[in-house]
Amino acid sequence: MVVRGSVYGMVLTDRDRAILDFERSWWSEPGREELAIRERFDLSTTRYYEILNELLEAPEALEYDPLVIRRLRRLRDRRRRARFEGRSVSEPRQ
């Protein structure tokens, strides 16, 4: 988990880096993402996504893996926009 409150900002833990590494390539592994999250991190999917959303705001996470963080931010923003506009993510914008 991201450690807050230090003078230098946030520090990525080994688990934080492992989560970012997993997000880079989970789709290439066999099985469902939820099962892989539980087996690999011993976390519920809810807690996993809470941690991941914290990481999306951490400058250290952006520095560690800018492509993954930017991709996940775009997906998150697209979902938020779709919810705000009252449509599904897969529906085209009008």
Confidence (pLDDT) at 5: 44
| Helix (H), strand (E), coil (C) string for 62-73 | HHHCHHHHHHHH
Position 79 pLDDT exceeds 90: no
**What global pTM score does this model have?**
0.75
Confidence (pLDDT) at 85: 80
Average pLDDT of span 72-76: 95
Q: What residue spans define the domains of the chain?
A: 3-85
Confidence (pLDDT) at 56: 95
Q: At 94, is the pLDDT very low, low, confident or very high (cuts 50, 70, 90)?
A: low
Q: Which residues of 44-78 are buried (b: 16+ CB within 10 A; e: fewer)?
A: eeeebeebbeebbebebbbebbeebbeebeeeeee
Average pLDDT of span 41-63: 95
Backbone torsions φ then ψ of 75, nearest 5 degrees: -60, -45
